[in-house]
Amino acid sequence: MWRKRTLLLCALLSAFALSAWSQDAADSEAVRPSGVSGPVRKAKAVTARDRDTDNADAESKSARETKSSKSSHASSHRKRAKAKQDTQDTIPAPTEFTPEGIPKTTAASVIVVDANSGKILYEKNADQTRPAASTQKLLTALIVAESGFLDRPVTVQPTDTMADPVKLNIKAGDTYQRIDLLRALLVKSPNDVARCLARDNAGSIEAFAEVMNRRAQQLGAVHSHFVNPNGLPMPGQYSSARDLSLIARAAYGNQTIRSIVCLPQLVFRYANGRTRELENTNKLLRRVPYCNGMKTGYTDAAGKCLIASGTRPGRDVIVVVLGDSSSRVWRDASALLSWGLLM
């Protein structure tokens, strides 16, 4: 009897042990969400510190996501802005036309001439006297180029550097070849370089201004008067669209000038060996494939000014635009240039 009871008790104990072992084995072989079998750790009780840590991690993750979102948005905005700028630099905005098919312009004075024959194709207030700003540097460059000896050295004097605001920052005592300064003048339009070339050519700014006025008269630009070589505002200094077109035609016929004004950029080497890439101020060289020069200009008094030249087989055209706005000068000049070449 007692033996039976003992055997029954042993059986019950064995069954209980087997059940417990089976549960442990089942736990140790539980399948994880990733599909990899292995032991499953039991969850710990969540403390206040743990909650704070979890919240901080969540906030940190949220901040990172927000920062990443802002960064992505800023990057996307920059890309859109760059794409818009690239589009503006390559595709001129639509232009309105007169009933005669001539582009309408907002400039104060305009003239379009055939660079070879001198025939006037279109004009608007062409004889109105106005400040010419840096477009008159074409006359400065023409006089220097026509004087020759462009491989001769020029030593910068202290008075040459007294010109603001656009400067190349050449230093007194430094020496350059005339041709290198001439290239910089026509591509980047620095006022200190204009003064250096003028003083080197005639001995002083005042003497060079007399040379400018004589050469202008010879070209038929009889409604102009120049006081300095760079176009900075001075009492008694003025020109007109017609006069500037005459100067531009002479400059266009000079092979030295012609070979420089078409350069989109230029590497200038300073006397100390440092180099600087100069980008041409004439944006039409990068926007309009048929543009091959010439010279930009701007002062508050003159407004936005541009002399632009263009060519296609059988025709060369020069456009002078004076007293325009920043938003329209490139559009007006490119439209007139295209019209003049294709009419």
- Helix pair 137-147, 191-202: axis angle to 10 deg: 40
Provide the pLDDT confidence category of residue 341 given band limits of 50, 70 and 90. very high
- Helix pair 191-202, 178-188: axis angle to 10 deg: 140
pLDDT digits (tens, 9 = 90+) for 25-84: 333 333 333 333 344 333 333 333 333 333 333 333 444 444 444 444 444 444 444 444
Rounded to whole angstroms, the Cα distance separating 341 from 289 reads 12
In terms of pLDDT, which residue wins out, 190 or 90? 190
pLDDT digits (tens, 9 = 90+) for 253-275: 999 999 999 999 999 999 999 99
Share of the chain above pLDDT 70, in %: 73
Share of the chain above pLDDT 90, in %: 69
Provide the pLDDT confidence category of residue 94 given band limits of 50, 70 and 90. low
- Nearest Cα residue to 305 out of 163, 105, 145, 74: 105
In terms of pLDDT, which residue wins out, 98 or 184? 184
Provide the pLDDT confidence category of residue 165 given band limits of 50, 70 and 90. confident
φ, ψ (nearest 5 deg) of residue 97: -125, 155
Q: For residue 320, which amino acid is it?
A: V
For residues 211-229, average pLDDT: 98
- Helix pair 191-202, 205-218: axis angle to 10 deg: 80
Rounded to whole angstroms, the Cα distance separating 83 from 106 reads 27
The pLDDT, as a whole number, for residue 79 is: 45
The pLDDT, as a whole number, for residue 11 is: 44
The pLDDT, as a whole number, for residue 147 is: 97
Burial class from Cβ neighbours inside 10 Å (0-12, 13-18, 19+) for residue 217 reads: exposed
Pair of tokens at residue 201: 């050519």
For residues 178-188, average pLDDT: 98
φ, ψ (nearest 5 deg) of residue 37: -80, 155
The pLDDT, as a whole number, for residue 100 is: 85
